[in-house]
Amino acid sequence: MKISTAFIIEDEIPASARLKRLLEEKDIVVVGQEQSIKKGIHWLQNNSHPDFVFSDIKLSDGLSFEIFERINVNSKIIFTTAYDEFALKAFEYKGLAYLLKPIEIVKLENVLSNISFYSSIFNDGIQPISNFQEEFLVSFGSKLKKIKSEDIISFFSENNTTFIQCNENRNYPISMSLDKLETSINSDIFFRINRSVIINKKYIELVKNTEIVLKENLVLKDNSISRSRVTVFKNWF
């Protein structure tokens, strides 16, 4: 049986000790603990990356996101914080989930259970079913959810974050850019109508001049087709 390992970045010693104890109760070996951005970077640069990195967001020398900007961490990243305001930002840095402090054992168990279930698709958040990416793994709260491409109305970009717009009338942030998505999704189904939106053909009701009208009164972030894309769109649609 493979032993799972974890690295903790936490500047509150009692919180770090509590998390270490909870993880060890779940048979996860804590291989390192650091208290700052600088020391966290140094540790990750000089040690094999563990299965998990649990990182507080607000550290004494700044926000821990800086660590993940500077280091390509080959671990499942889980952010811990007393502030839920950072949830969206956490997903931008490949955070699989975030746990609000004080961490409750039940919520920790749920996160670990979900990660185990989806371990085969963790690294890029996608389970390939064909040559195209057909399913996306998204995080919300401490849970994971798989979204099928057929349930995606659009991908859109806002404030440097990419979102999936679902037919359940919810938006989920993902860590992929629209440029990267264009190369990996089925171009027979999806089309980039402008700089900020990729649309699913399935949900288009009609096109008025250069504006798209969706079925069932659904609304796009930006429904206008860029002038440079009009001809290509007509051929596609």
Does one domain contain both 168 and 215?
A: yes
Interval 189-222: pLDDT, tens: 999 999 999 999 999 999 998 999 999 889 999 9
- What three-state secondary structure class fits 107? helix
pLDDT of 66-83, one tens digit each? 998 888 888 899 999 887
Prediction pTM value: 0.53
- State pLDDT tens for residues 102-121: 898 998 988 888 776 555 44
Handedness of CA 213, 188, 156, 136 (dihedral sign): positive
Q: Say if residue 41 is in the same domain as residue 98.
A: yes
Q: Of 76, 93, 117, which residue constitutes the final position of a domain?
A: 117
Q: Are residues 139 and 214 in the same domain?
A: yes
50-54, 64-68, 99-103: which has the minimum mean pLDDT?
99-103
Task: State the residue range of the domain holding 144.
Answer: 126-236
pLDDT at 156 over 60: yes
Domain count, the chain: 2
* Among candidate residues 71, 96, 117, the one where a domain is terminated: 117
Looking at the structure, do residues 113 and 187 belong to the same domain, yes or no? Answer: no
Q: Helix, strand, coil % (nearest 5) of the chain? A: 35, 35, 30
Give yes or no: residues 136 and 200 share one domain. Answer: yes
Residue 141 pLDDT class (50, 70, 90 cuts): low
